[in-house]
Structure 1
Amino acid sequence: MRPQFISSRGNEYFCEIDEDYLTDRFNLTGLNTEVQYYQYALDLITDVFDLDCDDDMRETIEKSARHLYGLIHARYIVTTRGLAKMLDKYKKADFGKCPRVFCHSHPLLPMGQTDIPHQKPVKLYCVRCEDVYNPKSSRHAAIDGAYFGTSFHNIMFQVYPALVPPKSADRYIPRVYGFKVHASAALIRWQNTQRADMLRRLRKLEIESGFKEDVGDEDLEEEDEEEDDIELEGMEGDAMHVVG
C-alpha cells in the first residue's frame, strides 16, 4: 500500500516509511486506541492484508489505514532516517516555495499547528521569514496537520543548522512619489478622522459619547455650528424663493 499511497496525487508531502519501522511495535505504541480496525489497517499498510470482506468494509479499513499511516508518519519524520528523507524533499522544494517576494522562492516545510488529529490542516513554514502559509493546492490543504506535528520543522533545523539562511533584511517600504509614508502618522490621522465622524454623528443624535473633551472636540462643535448655519441659510433662501 505504501508505494501507492505515496504516489497518489495529493500525498506529495509524505515520505515512505521504512518497513523496519512499521514492524517494530514499540514505534506504534498507543496508536491501537486511536485507529478503528487498527490491526487490519496495519496489515494493509504492510501488505499482509488477506481478509475477505465486502467493498464497504474494505473502504472503511483503507480509510483507517490512511489515518494510521499519517499518525506513524508524524513519528517517523523526527527520526534520523525520516529527517534525511524529508531533507531530500525539502531541497527539491517538493513542499513548495515561499510566496513572499523578499524570500526569493525559499523552500517551505510542512508543519502542524497541533498534534491532535482532526483539529487543523497542514500549514507550510518558511525558515527565512519565519512565517506560516496555506498550501496552494486544495488537496494539500485538506491534509491533517497532525500527520507532521508541531515539532518536525523545528527539529529539522536543529539537526541541520546549516539549512538556516540569514534572515532577510528586505522589507517593503510604502512610498508616495518617492517619499516614505510614515505608518504611525497615517494611522493616527485615520483614527482621528474616524473618531471625529463618530462624535459628529453622536452629537446630532444627542447621545453622550463619554469621550474626554479636548481641543479636537471644540473644533468639532465649531464645525457642527458652521454646518447648522449653512443648513439654516439654505432653508431661509428656499423660503424667500417661495415667497417671492
Structure 2
Amino acid sequence: MGRGSASSTPTSTLTWISWFCSLPGHEYFCEVTEDFIEDDFNLTGLNTMVPFWKEAMEMVLDVEPDEDASKIPDVSIVESSAEMLYGLVHQRFILTRVGLQAMAEKYESGVFGSCPRVYCVGCNVVPCGRSDVPGLDTVKLFCPNCNDIYVPPSSRFQGVDGAFFGTTFAHLFFQTYRELSPAPFWKAPSAGGSPLSPRSTSGSSSSRGSPFVNPNPHGGQKRAAGYVYVPRIYGFKVSERAKSGPRMHWLRLRPENPSELDMVDWRGRWIDEDDEYDDDEEDDDDDRQMEDFDPVI
C-alpha cells in the first residue's frame, strides 16, 4: 500500500509518521517526534542496518528527494526501508520520558488490550519483542500480572516486527509507572469464597476499604490478582508429573508477603539452598522448551 493515496492531494497535511501510525495493525505505535529523528545521536548505528538510508530518512521526514531521479531506487524499496528506519527509531523513542508518557496514555486507554488469562481479571498489557534485532519475531503482549507474554489476538499484528518495541520497553515501563504495576506478592483471602475465584475478593469489604499500599517500596503499587488455576479430577489435584498436570503452576505463584522476597538471591534461587552456582553453566536466557517430566516407557 503506497502512501501516495493517503496524501496525494495538495491540501493534505498528513505527515508520513501520522500516516504510518494510522495504518491497520499499527495501533501499538506512537508518533515519534521529528526532533528526535533529526538528532544524529539517536540514530547511532542505524545507518548500517537500513538500506537506502538517505532516501528512507527523506521519506520519513517528508523531505523532497533530490532532483536526480536516476539515483532513486524503486519507491516500494524505499518505503520498506523507511518502515524499518521508523521502527528502529521507535524502539529507542519509547524508552525516553516523552515516549514512555505517550505509551502510558495508550496503556490506560486500553489500546494494547488485556491479558487473555482468566485469573488476571482483564489486566492491561503492553507490546514487547523477544529480540532487539529486526526480522526474528513478531510483536508480543506482556502482562505485568502473570509476567507472561502472549500472541496478539488479531491477525493484523502478525506483520509487526517485535524489534520495533524491543525487549526493554515493557519492563522499563512498569519500573517507571509503579502505580500501574501489580505488587510482586499477594495474600490469599482468609474467608469467603474460593481462593481460586477472582470474584472471591472483588466483592469483599477488604478490597473496598482503604487503597492497597505495598510495604515494599521497590514493588508495584497495585493489588495483584494472584489466582492460580489448579486442575482437579473428582476434587483431587492432578499430579504435576502427569501429562495434564499444572506444568506452569510455578510460573504464576507469588509470595504471600514482601519478606519472602528476601529469601531468594538475584538469580531467583533460595538463599539457603545447598547447591552452589555453577559458573560453567550455559548462560542462555532465551526462551526454552518446557521440560518433559514424564519418563519414557
Tell me the TM-score normalised to structure 1 length: 0.72
CA distance in 2, matches of 1:185, 1:56: 59
Distance 1:58 1:167 in 2: 49
Q: Deviations over 1:133-166 (max 9, x none)?
A: 0011222122111101100011101111111123
- Residue 134 (structure 1) aligned with residue 151 (structure 2): yes
Highest CA radius of gyration, 1 or 2?
A: 1
SS at match of 1:50: coil
Q: Secondary structure at the match of 2:74?
A: helix
1:185: Cα distance to partner?
Answer: 7.8
- Kindly indicate which of the two structures has a greater share of residues assigned to helix: 1
- 2:121 aligned to which of 104, 107, 110: 104
Equivalent residues in 2 for 1:206-221, closer than 5 Å? none
d(CA) in 2 for partners of 1:51, 1:139 = 35
Is the 8 Å Cα contact of residues 123 and 141 (structure 1) preserved in structure 2? no
Q: 1:187 aligns with which of 216, 234, 242?
A: 242
Identify the residue that residue 97 of structure 2 maps to in structure 1.
80
Pairwise mapping of residues 6-45 of structure 1 onto structure 2 (< 5 A)? Answer: 6-45=21-60
* Residue 171 of structure 2 corresponds to residue 154 of structure 1: yes
**Counterparts of 1:99 and 1:185 in 2: how far apart (Å)?**
23
Counterpart AA for 1:48: V
- Matched to 1:74, the amino acid is Q
Partners of 1:33 and 1:186 lie apart in 2 by: 50
CA distance in 2, matches of 1:109, 1:26: 27
- The unaligned stretches of length 5 or more in structure 2 are 1-15, 183-222, 246-293
How far is 1:31 from its partner? Answer: 0.8
Q: Secondary structure at the match of 1:42?
A: helix
TM-score (norm 2): 0.60
Number of residue equivalences = 192
Counterpart residue type for residue 109 of structure 1: V
SS of the residue 2:36 aligns to: helix
- Contact 2:125–2:144 (Cα < 8 Å) also in 1: yes
Aligned to 1:50: 65
- State the Cα RMSD in Å: 2.5
SS in 2 for 1:124: strand
Letter in 1 for 2:128: M
- AA in 2 matched with 1:133: Y
Distance 1:194 1:76 in 2: 49
Q: For structure 1, list consecutive stretches of 5 or more residues without a partner in the other structure.
A: 199-244
Q: Which runs of 4+ in 1 moved over 3 A?
A: 51-56
Aligned sequence identity (%): 41
Q: 1:24 to 1:194 in 2, by over 3 A?
A: closer
